[in-house]
Structure 1
Amino acid sequence: MALASRFPDVEIPDVSVPEYVLAAGRDRPDAPALIDGLKGDVITHGQLAAYVDRVAANLHARGLRKGDVVAVFCPNTPWFPVVFHGIAAAGCVMSPINSLYTPDEIAFQLKDSGAKILITISLFLDRATAAAEKSPVDEIIVLDGAEGHANLFDLLGADAPSVQVDIDPANDLVTLPYSSGTTGLPKGVMLTHRNLVANVAQCKPLINIGEDERIIAVLPFFHIYGLTVLMNQGLAWGGAVVTLPRFDLEDFLRTIQDHKITRAFVAPPILLAMAKHPLVDQFDLSSLTSILSGAAPLDEQLALAAQDRLRKGADSGVSVGQGYGMTELSPVSHTTPDLGAEPPGFSGEVPKGSVGFAVPNTECRLIDPGTGQDAAEGERGELWIRGPQVMKGYLNNPDATAGTVDSEGWLHTGDVAVVDANGCYTVVDRVKELIKYKGYQVAPAELEAVLIGHPEIADAAVIGVPDKESGEELPKAFVVRAPGSEITEDAVMAYMTEKVAPHKKVRFVEFIEQVPKSAAGKILRKDLKNR
C-alpha cells in the first residue's frame, strides 16, 4: 500500500538547476550569496550569476558541449558553487570526486564517467595528475593556479560569448555523483535537472525561511547532501552559504558565532562534539535556530543532549532534528520540519529518533523482507520510495538500476523503517550490507577487491562492526592468509591505508581459515557477524 506524504504536493518548475537556484538572488543582487568562513571573502548573488555565465561561456569556448562530463575534485570553497552552476548552465554534467580519494579511486571515476576535464586545486594536483595518467582527460584546470595549467581566471575570462543551451530538465543530467547504492562497487548516479530542482522545491514547505538565512557549509559539496541541501537549497532561499574546507571544531564554532549562522546541516559526529566537547561553551551560538542531521542514523539521546546543551548554554531556541535520504534520491525523502511547518493536522513534536515526514510529492511503502508483501500497520518493513527525486538510473549499468528501481518506479532503499500514526518514519535497521561511517558509504565488496589484490592474501571478507563511541560502524576484515604467508594485522591495515581513502580504512583484522560462502559463492556475512 502506497503511503502518500502528509504534505500537499508542490509545483516543480520545468527549468534547469541554475535557473531555479539562482532565481531568488536576482531580487537581492547585492546580498551575500557565498562567504568564505575562514577568510571572510564574499560573492554576492549578482556576482554569482555573472560568474556562472562566464564559466559556462569559457567551458563552451574550450569545446565542451551538452552532456559532456566535467569532474570536480575540490574541497568546499565559495568557488565550488560557481563552478557547479557554470558547468550546469553549459549543459554539461558535473561529477564530484571525494576529496579523500586516492589516485586509483579518482582514476576509476574519471574513466567510468568519461570525464573530459578535471577541475581541482593545487593542494590536490599530485593526486589529480597521477589519476589522469591512468585515465587521461583533455585538461586539468587548477582553480588557485599551477604552472602549465589553466586557472579560475581563465574560467572567468570576459572574451568568450555567453551561451544559451536548450536543456530538457526531465532527461538531461546535471550531476553524476558516485555511490555504492544498496550494494557493490561505486556506480555513477544519474541525476537530472528535474531531480535536483524537485528536491529543493520539496523541502521548501518544511522550512520557515528568514530573510537573512546563513547556512554553514562544512559538509562537503562533493557529497549529494552538501550539494543539494546546503549549497543549492541555501542559494535558492536567497540566503548566504558560509563555506568551510573541512571540519575543525574550533573553526566551526567560531564561524557560527562570527557569521551569526542560523542553520547548520550536519552529520552525527559533529553533533557528538556539540553535545560533549568543552570548547562549545566558549562560543556564542545563540544565532542558531535549527540543526538538522543526516547522512547516518542519529541516536535519540545524542540529539536531546546536543539540543539541551545549546538551549541552556546560549539561551537559544535551537531545535535538533534528523532527515533521511540517499544519493539515488537527490538526496532527501524524509525530514523533520521546523516548528510551525508541520503537515496539516499534526500537533506535538517529532520524536528525536525519527527522520520525520516524507517530503511533498513522495510516496512510501514498507515491505516485509520475508514475505515481499506490504508490512502490517506499525510493523517494520524495507522502505521503498517513489517521487520526482528518484534518480534516472546508474550510468551504463541497467542491471544495477533494475535491482534498485523497479518497473513501477519504486526505489528500494535497503533500509528497514517503521511509521507511526502521525506519519513520522523511523529507520531501525538495514537490509543492505553497506557500512556507514561518518556519513560515508563504504562498500565491503570494494574493500574485499583491494584486499585480495595483496599477494599474501588468499581470500577476504569485510563487515561493519559497531563502534560504541560513535554509534556507527567500522570496517573489519576477515583475512585468509596465502600459503606460507605470515602477514600481520598491522601489515594488512598499513596496506589498506595506502590503497583507499581514510574513511574506508580497515580498522580491525581477524585471520580465519576460510571465508564462509553460500553454494552460489555469496559471502555469508551474517556468519561473520555472529562470530
Structure 2
Amino acid sequence: MRQLSYVHGTGGTPLLGDTIGRNLGRAVDAFPEREALVDVPSGRRWTYAEFGAAVDELAKALLGSGVAKGDRVGIWAINCPEWVLVQYATARIGAIMVNINPAYRAHELAYVLDQAGISLLIASLVHKTSDYRALVGQVRGRCPALRAVHYIGDPSWDELLAAAGGVGDAELAAREAELSCDDPVNIQYTSGTTGFPKGATLSHHNILNNGYFVGEMIGYTEQDRVCLPVPFYHCFGMVMGNLGAISHGACIVIPAPSFDPAATLRAVAEERCTSLYGVPTMFIAELNLPDFATYELSSLRTGIMAGSPCPVEVMKRVVAEMNMAEVSICYGMTETSPVSTQTRRDDDLERRTGTVGRALPHIEVKVVDPVTGVTLPRGEAGELCTRGYGVMLGYWDEPAKTAEVIDAGRWMHTGDLAVIREDGYAQIVGRIKDMIIRGGENVYPREIEEFLYSHPKVADVQVVGVPDERYGEEILACVIPRDPADPPTLDDIAGYCRDELAHYKIPRRLEILEGFPMTVSGKVRKVELRERYA
C-alpha cells in the first residue's frame, strides 16, 4: 500500500509558551551587553539592555496615550529601528500591531485603517514619492476610529515618547500580566489578487514560535548577526527576521530603509553578518553588481531564501560566491505565520532547489485532492494543507472568508499545488488558480518554467495560461532574455522543449519582456500577465 502524503514535523524542542514581551525579557536578562539592533544608515546601535529599555519606554508611552489591550496600532513605515521598537512595545502591552504596506496610497490606506479599526497610527514622514503626512490628511475623515498619528523623526514622535513620563514600571508589569500567548498580537494584510486584501490575525504563539523554529533550523545563537534587507511589514522581515533573531539573542542588522543591493552587501561586510535574507531576485541583484567581487562576505554562514523558487544556478552562486553553505529555503504564507516547510542546514543542492524542504517541528502537512479533500498518495499533485501552531486565528472581522480557507479540522488550505515525495520533502508545482487546463490535460507552469531556465537565451521565465477557442487554454511563455539584442524565438523555445516535454506542455505563444509585474514582497503577479495577454 502506498504511503500517504501526510507528514508531521517532529523534534525534541518544545514549543515556547511565552508572550513576545516575556521572550524579549529572557533575551535581555541573558545577553544584556550583546548587540541586539544595528541601523547601518543612521549608525545607531542598541545592546540588549538598551533595546529592552527603549521598548519599555515606548510601551509606557503607548499606555500613557490610552492604548488598551486589544487596541489596534498601525505601523506604516519603511525599515527602521522604530519599526522594531513598535513591534515589541505593542506586544508588551497587548495591543495588536497592524502592518501597513509602505507602498499603499490613499485608497488602500483608508481601507486598512477603517477595516482594522486602527486608533493610533505610527508612520514614516516620506518614502520615495509618498508624502505620508499628506496621504493621512486625505483619508483621516474616512476613518472614525483613528484618534492619533505620530510620525517617526518628527516632533510628534517625541510627543508620543513624552507620554511615558506618567507611567511607572508597576503599571507596565500589570498590563503584561494580563496577557496570554494566545492573544492576537498582529494583523497582516495579504495581497489579494481580487478585491481588497484580508487581515490575517496572528497570535503571540503563532509568530513567536515560527520565528524561533525557523532560526533553530539554521542554527542561530547569540553569536549570529542577521542582515535584513527584506521588508519588516511582511512576515519575512518581522517574523523570520526580527523574532527569529531576538528569540536566539542574535543581532538584527538593518542595511537600508528599502532594498538596495550594494547597501546590503556593504552592511554584511562592515557588520560581519553571518546570515542574509532575501527573495531570489534580491540575491540575483546582489550577485550581478559590477563590483560584487570586492565585497568581503567571508563572515556569512547561512541565510534564508523565500518568496519564489530559486533557480539552480543562482543557488550554486549563493553557496559558492557568498559563502552561504547553510542557506535555507522556506515555504509558507502569511496565514501560517508564515513558514510551514524548510530545508535543513545539511540538505544537498537538489533538495534546496528542487523542493521547499520538509515540515517544521510541530507542523503537520498533507496533500489532498482539491475536489474531494481526500489525502493523496505520495508523489501525486494536489492541494497543500497545513495544520499546527502556525495557523492564524482568522481573517480580522471576516468569519465567512476565514471559513473558506480553514476547515473544521483546523487545516489551512493554501491554494498551492504540491507533491510530497517519498523522502517527505515537498515540491510546489504551482497555484490551483495558476494550473492550466489545455484540452483536458492539467499543466503545471512550474515544471515548464524549471525546464526553460536551462535554455541558454533565457534569463527568467513565467508560464501562464491564456484563453483559447480550441483547447480552452493555451500556454504562454513570458521570457526575459539573457541578451535583449538576441532574444529567443517561439521556434527556439518550442524546439528546445520538443524532445523533453509532452507535446501539450510546449508553449504555443511567446512574449519577450524586460521585467515582470511584481508584488512588493517579490512575487511575480501572474494574474497580471494573464490579464495583459489574454
Considering the TM-score relative to the shorter chain, is it more than 0.5? yes
Determine which of 163, 179, 200 is the counterpart of 1:189: 200
Report the Cα distance in structure 2 between the residues aligned to 1:97 and 1:390, rounded to whole angstroms: 21
Contact 2:64 2:164 in 1 (8 A): no
- The alignment's TM-score, normalised by the length of structure 2, stands at 0.77
In the TM superposition, 1:404-419 aligns within 5 A as 404-419=405-420
Please, which moves more after superposition, 106-115 or 118-127?
Answer: 118-127
Shift of 1:375: 1.9
Deviation string, structure 1 residues 95-125 (Cα, Å, up to 9, x no partner): 0111111011111100000000010122232
Tell me by how many angstroms 1:239 deviates: 1.1
Matches of 2:481 and 2:269, distance apart in 1: 26
Aligned partner of residue 306 in structure 1, secondary structure: helix
Q: Which runs of 5+ in 1 are unaligned?
A: 311-315, 437-463, 472-496, 511-524
How do residues 385-424 of structure 1 correspond to structure 2 at under 5 angstroms? 385-424=386-425
Match in the other structure for 1:77: 80
- Superposition map of 1:96-115 within 5 A: 96-115=99-118
**Does residue 139 of structure 1 match 2:148?**
yes
Specify whether residues 505 and 274 from structure 1 end up closer, same or farther in structure 2 by C-alpha distance, changes over 3 A only.
closer
Cα distance in 1 between the residues matched to 2:339 and 2:207? 10
Q: Percent identity?
A: 27
Matched, 1:247 2:250: no
- 1:230-309 alignment runs, 5 A limit: 230-243=241-254, 244-309=256-321
Give the number of aligned pairs.
Answer: 448
CA contact (8 A) 1:303 1:321 kept: no
Q: Does the CA-based 8 Å contact 2:65-2:160 persist in structure 1?
A: no
Output the CA distance in 2 between the equivalents of 1:504 and 1:133.
34
- Distance (Å, rounded) in 1 between the aligned partners of 2:280 and 2:523: 18
SS in 2 for 1:469: strand
Deviation track 1:374-407 (CA, whole Å, cap 9, x = no partner) reads 2222111110000101000001111110111100
Q: Determine helix, strand or coil for the equivalent of 1:288.
A: coil
1:134/1:266 CA distance change after superposition, 3 Å: same
Question: In structure 2, what is the equivalent of residue 55 of structure 1?
Answer: 58
CA distance in 1 between counterparts of 2:480 and 2:403 reads 37
Query: What per-residue deviation string (whole Å, max 9, x for no partner) do you get for residues 208-264 of structure 1?
Result: 224421101111111111110111111111111011211111111111110111001
The one-letter amino acid paired with 2:113 is L
Q: CA deviation at 1:30?
A: 1.7
Deviations 1:180-212 (A, max 9, x none): 468653011110111112213433431222442
Q: Which moved more, 1:172-181 or 1:392-401?
A: 172-181
Secondary structure, counterpart of 2:133 in structure 1: helix
Shift of 1:91: 0.9
C-alpha distance in 1 between matches for 2:413 and 2:166: 48
Task: Give, as a single letter, the amino acid of the residue that structure 2 aligns with 1:377.
Answer: R
Tell me, what secondary structure is at the counterpart of 2:166? Answer: coil
Residues 286-319 of structure 1: per-residue CA shift (max 9 Å, x gap) = 1111132112222233222333333xxxxx3634
Distance 2:139 2:180 in 1: 32
RMSD over aligned CA atoms reads 3.2
Alpha-carbon distance in structure 1 between the residues aligned to 2:428 and 2:434: 15
Give the partner amino acid of 1:260.
Answer: R
User: 2:110, 2:142 within 8 Å by CA — same for their partners in 1?
Assistant: yes
Residue 16 of structure 1 corresponds to: 19
CA distance in 1, matches of 2:71, 2:213: 28
Take 1:506 and 1:201, find their aligned partners in 2: how far apart are those partners? 30
